[in-house]
Structure formats: C-alpha cells, structure tokens
Structure 1
Amino acid sequence: MAEIISSSYAARLEREQHLGEVREAARTLANRFPHAYWRECDKEEQYPWDFVKAFAEAGWMGIMMPEEYGGMGLGLTEAAVMLQEIGASGAGMSGASAIHFYVFPPAPILRHGSEEMKKRYLPALARGELLMAFGVTEPTSGVDTSRIRTRAEKKGDRWVINGQKVWSTNAQNATKYLILARTSPRDEKRPLDGMTLFFADMDRKHCDVRVIDKLGRAAVDSNEVFIDGLEVPEENVVGEVGKGFYYLLDGLNPERVVVGMEGIGIGRAALDLAVEYANSRVIFDRPIGKNQAVAHPLAECWMRLTAAESVALKAAELYDNFQPCGAEANTAKYLGAEAGFLACDQAMQTHGGYAYAKEYHIERLWREVRLLRLAPISQEMVCNYISNKVLGLPKSY
C-alpha cells in the first residue's frame, strides 16, 4: 500500500510540475503584450495579429492536436491553463478568443473528419496559418438548434447552402467556415437528426459578412453571415450526413471548461489591478485597502475565483482521463463566469469613478467578461442541465 501511495504522490507531483511549466510559458508569452496593447486593439477594433502570430510560432495553436498533425498532443488541462493565463495577463476575451477559436472549433474535424481532411487542414490550423469561423447560431432559433433554417441541398457531387448565421466569430478574416445546416426536414420525434457539418470556403461571392457592433471584445469580430448559393464539395462534409449536431456535442464539455477558466483568468487580472490600486490610493491619510469595506469584497473575489478554478481543473482532469464530466464542466463554466464578472465588478467599485477611465483598463475587462454569462451557453441553460441531469428534476425546457 505504501508503494502505491508513494507512486501516486510522485505522479501527482510530476503532473503539477508539468502544469506549472505550461503556466509559466503561457504567462511569459502573454505578458509580452501589456494592457495598453489590448486597449489599442479594442479602441481601433483591430484584430490582434501580433499576439496570434506569437502564440502560433510557439506552437500553442495545436496544443490539443495529435503530433502527427503538427500539434503538441497535450490535453484539455494544459489548454485550459494556457487560456486562463492569457485572460490573467490582461488580454481579456480579446486575447482568449483569438486563441480559443484556433483550438476548439476544429474539434469535429479532428474527431469525425476524413483522414484526407485532417491531413489537409489540421497542420495549417496548428501553425496558425488557417483562420476559420464557426456557423451554428441563427437569429430565429436561439438555443433551440433543432430549429435552424439554414439548409444544404445535394446537387450532383456538391452541396449548395442557403441561410443565415449570427455571432460568427472571425468571419471578417476567415478563409474557412464550419457550418451546421439542415440536410433533411426536422422530425418532431428526433429533432436533432438531419443536420450536417460542412467545412466550406468563406467565399465572399456567396457569403455576405456583416460585422455586429457590440458591447465588448471589439478586437475580435462577431458577425452576421448571409449565405446564398454557397457550394461545398462532397469531400468537405464532416463525418456522416445528418449527424452534425451530435459531432458538436463532443466539444461542449471541453469548451465549457476553458470558458470557465478564461473567466477566472480575467477575474484575476481585474483583482490584481484592484489590489494594486487599493494599496496605493490614499484617502483620509490611509490606503483605501486598509478599510474592510474595500478589503473584504476583494478577499471574497479571490476565494470565489480559487473555488471555481478547482472545479474547472477537476473537470479537465476527468475529461483527459476519459471519465464523464458533464456536471463538473457545466459547473466550471457557471462558476468561472460568475466569479470572473464579480471580480471585475468589484474592481470597478474599488477604483470608484476612475474605473470609467480607460487608462485603468478595468472597464474593458468588465465589458469583456460579461459575455461569458451569456455565451457559449447561458447561465440559465447550465442550471437547466444541473437540475435535470444531476438532480433528476423534470425537464423545464
């Protein structure tokens, strides 16, 4: 028994050392881009290409891709830690999203694409040379994906797609578009059948891309895409026709874990700024951090962030060990988004009126982290999952 315990402890120690090295490397690289860089990207609505290039050159884009396709062959835990450090550097969602959308949207291709498709596209994605957009959400269907109206019709050896997507990230610059479209009518008994994934060219003759003017993360574009007669060859169908929605499900838990970790990272960035300000800002002949009304809320933020991180890392470890992690992944997303937003909001309170001044960077982090309570899944939908799948309560949606 003692030998087993000793071996387990050694493995755990080695794992923690490895994650520490990942953290340090990601942190060092992300910190090369200061708050001022992200403020300028946000102000000018400028895609952070220098940041993306730096991470691509260091190999991070392929962190979860197998080495045979040019990736690092690492797990969800390492990817989650990397994205947390990006958020914590002050990059916020502008930096996290820019890397996130290289790492996770290609997952259906990796798991279900043909070998030819994998060899053709995955190495370019791992090198950061291929930018893709993701088209699932539609303005009329919301979270009920079974009711999407974008359709693909087979014509000879090609498919022709017509429809509309919304909130497609990266579509202003993307050259490829992963699209979910209906290929057969909706069946009330099996509403999620009959949808297919296509890895299409972002052909501007057939894709009218319109940027959405939004609250935050202006550096990374969000778009409406109007698709009219977009042709896709048969070889660019991902997996089997009619099973596209189920392929998307494979990536839901990993994405929820990293979204939670991104929120935690942004919260830590805001907390660091607030603590620095609370120690240096002197009012009534004393630093404001000496007042419990300032100190205690910041302490609570630290505890919430730390607790959320523990759940997220547990979920990532379960996933990497091929264990069920739905409850933990959803919880990580919920708690990470809440803790991150609370920390940013409390940082605003700590700075007082100065929080509205962009030179303090708090308002940018606050605007960007708010997104995570809405997307990629709302907090209410997480509660639906936990109440139904974990607690066994009747389905409410």
Structure 2
Amino acid sequence: MNFSITEEQRMLKEGVRKLVQDFGLEYWREKDDKHEFVHELWNALGENGYIGVMIPEKYGGVGLGLVEMAMVIEELAKGGAGSTVAQLFMLTPVFGGVTIELHGNEEQKQEYLPKIASGELNFCMALTEPNAGSNSLEISTFAEKKDEHYIINGQKIWISGVDVAQKMLLVARTTKKEDVKRKTDGITLFLVDCDDPAITAQPIEKVGTHCVRSDTVFIENLKVHKDNIIGEEGRGWNYLLDTLNAERIVTTAGLIGTGQLATKLAVNYANERVVFNNRPIGVYQGIQFPLAKYSAELQVAQLMNYKAAWLYDQLLPNGSEANTAKLIAGDAAFQVCDRAMQVMGGYGYAKEYHIERLWRDVRLFKIAPVSEEMILNFIAQHNLGLPRSY
C-alpha cells in the first residue's frame, strides 16, 4: 500500500484548487446566511467531472476511486466550504452513485449513473427514524408487497437534501423484525421519486449546515414497482454497509479539510494580531501548542482515511479504518475550530471572520453520520474483542 501522491492525483487536487477560487469563504458565508443550496458550485463540479470521480468511464464518470474522491472533498473543504461539502458528496455520489454502481442492475446503472456524474440528478437517502436513531436495524418503515408493487408506509428523520433531490434511496423492511432470524435480514433498498405525492417533507430548524436542508419525511401509501429495488429483496443491509462505510470516509475527508482551513485562519490571525509588547500573539506557546496538537491529529486522521479509502477501492474490509479515521478527525476538526475562535477572541464570534460558520457546521459531525459513542462501541467490540454493549 503506497500513500504517495500520483501525478494524476496531484493534477486532480490542483484542478479543484483552481475551481474553488470562485467559491471561497465569501460565497459560503452568503449561502449560509440565505440558507441556500450551493447550486452554482454543484453545477461547476458536475461540468468538471468531480461529482463522477468514482463512476466508471463507461457510465460517464472519471473511473477513479474513493481515495481520489476524498482528495477532492479535502480540497473543497479547505478552500472555503468547510465540512458541509462532505454532505453534498454523501448525498449523490455515495447514496446514489456508490450504491447503484456496486449493487444496482445494469439497467439502473445505465439510467442513473451518467446523470449522477454530470450533476443532472441529485439523490438523498432515507434511513434514520425517530424511534431507531443510530440503531438502524430497528427501523419500522414497512414495504408490503402487492403483486408487482410494494406499498410503503413510515416516517424518517434528519433526511438531508430531500428538497433538491429528484431520487431517494429509501430503506425499508420487507419482512417485519419479529419474523426474521437475524435482525439484518428483511431490509430492502428502494429507488423512489422525491416528488411523489405520497412523500411529504417538513424542514428541521438547526444550528448549522444551513446550505443542506434536513427534514422529517412522512411516507404514506407510497407505491413502488419491484423493478426499483436495489439488488435482492431482504438483503439491503449487506448492500447498505458499503454505502455507510463510504459515507464515513467522505465525512472524514470534509473534516480534515475543515481542520486545515480553520488552522490556516487561526495562524494567519495569530501572525498578524499584535498586542501588548508589539509582538504578534502567535509567538506565545498558549497559541501555538493547541494548533500544533490538532494539526498533528488531523495528519494522523488523513493517513488513516486514505488507508480506509484504499482498502475500500480494493474491495477489502475497511470498517475499522473508516471508523477510526472519523473518530479522530471529528474531534480534531471541532477542537481546532473552537481553538481558532479562541485565538481570534471577539472577532472569532463575528461572521466576517468565517470561523463561526465552520465551528457551527463541524459540531454536527461529532454526532453524525455516526456518533463518537457508536464508533467507540465498534472499536471495543470488533477491534478489542470486548462484549457487545448495546
């Protein structure tokens, strides 16, 4: 396994750096203030091939891997976007592109992947439920089969991007929990239209990530043809693991870029801000040490995330690496944003200096898409061999 950057990867990163010059901190501040989706950026990413980095060339993509997608997201995040940009790549390239490319049939690949790669088609995923939370196997949304169709009823929560998506990856039970031998059985993935009148969405007011709306989604007698199932009925959990591991890796890439951006903003301020004995505040170890510590942690997380992405691209087990990288990055990115705000003092609380947006947005990712506590459960059980605790 070689983590040196190839010439192709270097050019990919350089291309993103040039693109984000038109979508920097001021662009994201304006969009955040207006609670608007970043349509201009998303269109530019589609036109330049960055949305389709992982999609095979025969379906209109670039044909690279998750390592390269992580690099794209890092550059976008540290170029001004912050951690919210990771959500954009979760929604369509991962929930849509990865799931269909790995587990969809040929007809589904031909229909959806080219549109995903170009940015023409946006996705969201409906998994989380009010009474299940992180324990996704406890979902109760149910799809009852009737001839060639399924009738689906249920409620989902914290569904991001449903307002700008045309398609939804809907996770539902086709066999009730009490009727399966294993909890992982009986879960099925459906491709459905977001504008179907059987689906209604209610926005959730939240602290940050204002450029990506989150909703409570109500599903009432939604009729879905059997051809819109991903893979086989009842085996959706097995497919979903690939999607969720990719989601973690994408999230971590956004956190790393955010931490790098926050560090840069704090260092620039500390080098310029002069107080007391006409010396910049950056000379003080109280300023230097925390920034240095979190910078080191971000580098560790980045290497682990590249390892996870490389394993993913080789179709090898990667859950431990993906979870570990996300745990380290989530804490380090939040801590360095918080420290950057402290370095700037009152200015750090002002929108003009941008760190308050990064701070608000990054806090989410200590909770989502998987909480720190659930990651520690995973490490304790699967890495250390301790008993299952929940």
- Alignment of 1:215 onto 2:207: yes
1:43 partner SS: helix
Which string of whole-angstrom CA distances, capped at 9 and with x for unpartnered residues, describes residues 124-165 of structure 1? Answer: 111110111110000111112122111111122111111111
Counterparts in 2 of 1:45 and 1:265: CA distance versus 1, 3 Å:
same
Unmatched runs of 5 consecutive residues or more in structure 1: 1-7
- Within the candidate set 27, 43, 53, 1:37 is matched to 27
- Alignment of 1:321 onto 2:311: no
- Alignment of 1:384 onto 2:374: no
2:295 alignment partner in structure 1: 302
How far residue 204 of structure 1 moved from its aligned partner, in angstroms, is 4.3
- Alignment of 1:61 onto 2:51: yes
Two-structure CA RMSD over aligned residues (Å)? 1.6
Given that residues 131 and 139 in structure 2 are in contact (C-alpha distance below 8 angstroms), is that contact kept between their aligned partners in structure 1? yes
Given that residues 196 and 238 in structure 1 are in contact (C-alpha distance below 8 angstroms), is that contact kept between their aligned partners in structure 2? yes
Q: TM-score, normalised by structure 1?
A: 0.94
Which string of whole-angstrom CA distances, capped at 9 and with x for unpartnered residues, describes residues 213-267 of structure 1? Answer: 1111111111111011111111111111111121101223222222112111101
1:168 partner SS: strand
Comparing 72-81 with 324-333, greater Cα deviation is found at 324-333
Given that residues 143 and 152 in structure 2 are in contact (C-alpha distance below 8 angstroms), is that contact kept between their aligned partners in structure 1? yes
Given that residues 83 and 100 in structure 1 are in contact (C-alpha distance below 8 angstroms), is that contact kept between their aligned partners in structure 2? no
1:219 partner SS: coil
Counterparts in 2 of 1:179 and 1:164: CA distance versus 1, 3 Å:
same
Comparing 150-159 with 318-327, greater Cα deviation is found at 318-327
Structure 2 counterparts to residues 56-205 of structure 1, below 5 A: 56-106=46-96, 107-187=98-178, 189-205=181-197
**Alpha-carbon separation, structure 2, partners of 1:73 and 1:224:** 35
2:161 partner SS: coil
1:278 alignment partner in structure 2: 270
How far residue 86 of structure 1 moved from its aligned partner, in angstroms, is 1.1
Counterparts in 2 of 1:315 and 1:162: CA distance versus 1, 3 Å:
same
- Within the candidate set 11, 17, 21, 1:21 is matched to 11
- Within the candidate set 39, 48, 71, 1:49 is matched to 39
How far residue 78 of structure 1 moved from its aligned partner, in angstroms, is 0.3
**Alpha-carbon separation, structure 2, partners of 1:340 and 1:29:** 24
Counterparts in 2 of 1:178 and 1:323: CA distance versus 1, 3 Å:
closer
Q: TM-score, normalised by structure 2?
A: 0.96
1:243 alignment partner in structure 2: 235
**Alpha-carbon separation, structure 2, partners of 1:39 and 1:239:** 41
- Counterpart AA for 1:250: D
How far residue 12 of structure 1 moved from its aligned partner, in angstroms, is 7.1
Structure 1 runs, 4 residues or longer, greater than 3 Å off: none
- Counterpart AA for 1:61: I
- Counterpart AA for 1:231: K
How far residue 50 of structure 1 moved from its aligned partner, in angstroms, is 0.3
- Counterpart AA for 2:328: L
1:227 alignment partner in structure 2: 219
Counterparts in 2 of 1:265 and 1:49: CA distance versus 1, 3 Å:
same
Given that residues 201 and 232 in structure 1 are in contact (C-alpha distance below 8 angstroms), is that contact kept between their aligned partners in structure 2? no
1:259 partner SS: helix
**Alpha-carbon separation, structure 2, partners of 1:353 and 1:247:** 48
- Counterpart AA for 1:81: M
Given that residues 22 and 82 in structure 1 are in contact (C-alpha distance below 8 angstroms), is that contact kept between their aligned partners in structure 2? yes
- Counterpart AA for 2:230: V
Which string of whole-angstrom CA distances, capped at 9 and with x for unpartnered residues, describes residues 370-392 of structure 1? Answer: 11111111111111111111111
- Alignment of 1:254 onto 2:246: yes
- Counterpart AA for 2:246: P
- Counterpart AA for 1:333: K
Unmatched runs of 5 consecutive residues or more in structure 2: none
**Alpha-carbon separation, structure 1, partners of 2:205 and 2:124:** 18
**Alpha-carbon separation, structure 1, partners of 2:35 and 2:188:** 33
Given that residues 159 and 233 in structure 1 are in contact (C-alpha distance below 8 angstroms), is that contact kept between their aligned partners in structure 2? yes
**Alpha-carbon separation, structure 1, partners of 2:350 and 2:187:** 47
- Counterpart AA for 1:222: S
Given that residues 85 and 254 in structure 2 are in contact (C-alpha distance below 8 angstroms), is that contact kept between their aligned partners in structure 1? no
Given that residues 38 and 94 in structure 1 are in contact (C-alpha distance below 8 angstroms), is that contact kept between their aligned partners in structure 2? no
2:341 alignment partner in structure 1: 348
Identity %: 45
- Counterpart AA for 1:159: Y
**Alpha-carbon separation, structure 2, partners of 1:22 and 1:144:** 37
